[in-house]
């Protein structure tokens, strides 16, 4: 009689993994087992009836809990499918080759269940060359996702329409000025490859891209710092266009602050420049896979902010001679401490 009530643990635990019919079967088995043991050991009838009634009540309650759990799982599955569809619509998959470039992208939302966040990226071939954007929206949650969708939509349209990269940035700025609140903004790097071995970059308050050339990693710091998108009206400053030599074998890494501000258990920032030099290869996808895996290990398996990485590489043309274009210096190799 002392141990018979423990049979109620069967249907209670079954509710966490089984469907309602499975819970009822476990409850029925527990009731039959309790009746057999009670009769064998001579438990008084009224006491055995109380135990069996308790088993029936626990079984019915567990069956109801199981039904509610199954319903919540179906709703969650539907929400996840919608989130995946939204991610593919917002952050469209980037092919391994775009125009003359090899491309790789890695994106991790801070909330793994959300799949998408406030970081954004896009890379599109246009009549004016390949153009791309990597940015970070202030804030988190659905408002940040909505702002990211707005920026990407305007960018994809303007990239096809505007011959000048600064005009692309201007259209994004005007759209944000109409739709954002006074405290909202977006940091971003907008780049374009019009051809002839040069890359155009407009940095709007974002982390400087990293140029990889001849195994050296260099930060492409803006010559004239520009405020983030959405804040031009407060400062009156206009973005400036920076032109970089970009020839065969060069690579350009764009990222968000979720990467460089990731901390380990000792509260040290992730040394991106140092790790890029360590993992750099001729295959962007392999490079970013190694960086992403190391970043997750560095922070203990989970990021606390959205993180995006986009790596662009210009491979040498098959059968061509080494590039004779001038490889002017972008800047001195950046030490990891400067990026921290």
Q: Both 22 and 66 in a single domain? A: yes
Domain that holds residue 37: 4-84
Please identify every stretch of the chain with a pLDDT value under 50, giving residue numbers as ranges: 320-340
Question: pLDDT value at position 123?
Answer: 93
One domain, residues 79 and 96: no
Query: Which residues, including other chains, have CB under 8 Å from residue 333's CB and lie 6 or more apart?
Result: 216, 217, 218
The pLDDT of residue 114: 53
Q: What is the pLDDT of residue 327?
A: 41
Rounded Cα distance between 117 and 148, Å, is 8
- The residue among 84, 118, 150 that closes a domain is 84
According to the model, what pLDDT value does residue 8 have?
A: 86
Domain match, 45 and 172 both? no
Residues 63 and 196 in one domain: no
For residue 134 the two structure tokens come to: 């990597």
335 Cβ contact list (under 8 Å, min separation 6): 273
Alpha-carbon gap, residue 63 to 25, rounded angstroms: 10
Q: Are residues 278 and 300 in the same domain?
A: yes
Claim to verify: residue 117 and residue 201 sit in the same structural domain = yes
Kindly state whether residues 13 and 146 are assigned to the same domain. no
17 and 165 share a domain? Answer: no
pLDDT of residue 146: 83
Q: Tell me, what's the pLDDT at 84? A: 67
The CATH number of the domain holding residue 188 is 3.60.40.10
């Amino acid at each position: 009689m002392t141990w018979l009530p423990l049979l109620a643990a069967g249907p209670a635990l079954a509710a966490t993994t089984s469907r309602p019919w499975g819970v009822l079967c476990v409850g029925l088995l527990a009731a039959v087992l309790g009746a057999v043991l009670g009769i064998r050991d001579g438990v008084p009838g009224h006491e055995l009836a109380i135990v069996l009634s308790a088993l029936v009540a626990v079984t019915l309650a567990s069956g109801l809990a199981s039904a509610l759990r199954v319903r919540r799982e179906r709703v969650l599955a539907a929400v996840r499918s919608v989130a995946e569809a939204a991610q593919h619509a917002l952050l469209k998959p980037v092919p391994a080759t775009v125009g003359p470039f090899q491309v790789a992208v890695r994106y991790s939302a801070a909330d793994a269940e959300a799949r998408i966040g406030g970081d954004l990226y896009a890379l599109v071939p246009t009549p004016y060359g390949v153009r791309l954007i990597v940015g970070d929206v202030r804030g988190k949650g659905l408002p940040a996702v909505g702002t990211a969708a707005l920026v990407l939509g305007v960018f994809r349209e303007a990239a096809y329409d505007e011959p000048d990269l600064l005009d692309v940035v201007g259209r994004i700025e005007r759209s944000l000025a109409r739709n954002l609140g006074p405290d909202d903004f977006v940091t971003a790097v907008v780049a374009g490859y019009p051809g002839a071995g040069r890359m155009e970059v407009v940095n709007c308050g974002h982390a400087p891209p990293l140029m990889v050339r001849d195994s050296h990693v260099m930060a492409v710091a803006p010559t004239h710092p520009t405020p983030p998108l959405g804040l031009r009206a407060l400062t009156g400053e206009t973005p400036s266009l920076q032109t970089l030599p970009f020839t065969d074998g060069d690579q350009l890494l764009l990222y968000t602050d979720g990467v460089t501000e990731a901390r380990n258990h000792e509260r040290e920032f992730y040394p991106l420049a140092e790790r890029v030099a360590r993992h750099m290869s001729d295959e962007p996808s392999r490079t970013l896979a190694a960086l992403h895996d190391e970043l997750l290990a560095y922070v203990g398996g989970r990021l606390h902010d959205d993180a995006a990485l986009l790596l662009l590489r210009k491979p040498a043309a098959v059968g061509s001679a080494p590039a004779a274009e001038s490889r002017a210096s972008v800047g001195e190799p950046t030490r990891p401490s400067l990026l921290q």
